[in-house]
Amino acid sequence: MGGSFKVERLQAEWDQIYALEESINVASTLNIANAILITGCASLANRIRN
């Protein structure tokens, strides 16, 4: 039972990573030098910040 929750949480984090990657790609394609990217995934934000 507990393993299912962990898998779903990891899937949600991967979805956030893919969304962030796409946002970076769009900003790059549009030649945006400075962009503010917001995520609700605290672990992802902490990894990027550090």
Query: What does the pLDDT read at residue 30?
Result: 94
pLDDT tens per residue across span 1-49:
555 666 777 787 788 888 888 988 999 999 998 888 877 777 777 777 7
The count of structural domains within the chain is 1
43-46: which pairs have CB atoms within 8 A and are 24 or more residues apart?
A: 43/13, 44/13, 44/16, 44/17, 44/20
The structure tokens listed for 43 are 């672990």
Question: What is the domain extent for residue 27?
Answer: 7-49
* DSSP output for the chain: -HHHHHHHHHHHHHHHHHHHHHHHHHHHHTT-SS-----S-HHHHHHHH-
Query: What does the pLDDT read at residue 29?
Result: 94
Instruction: Please check whether residue 28 lies inside any domain of the structure.
Output: yes
Instruction: Please check whether residue 1 lies inside any domain of the structure.
Output: no
Query: What does the pLDDT read at residue 4?
Result: 65
Instruction: Please check whether residue 39 lies inside any domain of the structure.
Output: yes
Instruction: Please check whether residue 41 lies inside any domain of the structure.
Output: yes
Query: What does the pLDDT read at residue 31?
Result: 94
Instruction: Please check whether residue 2 lies inside any domain of the structure.
Output: no
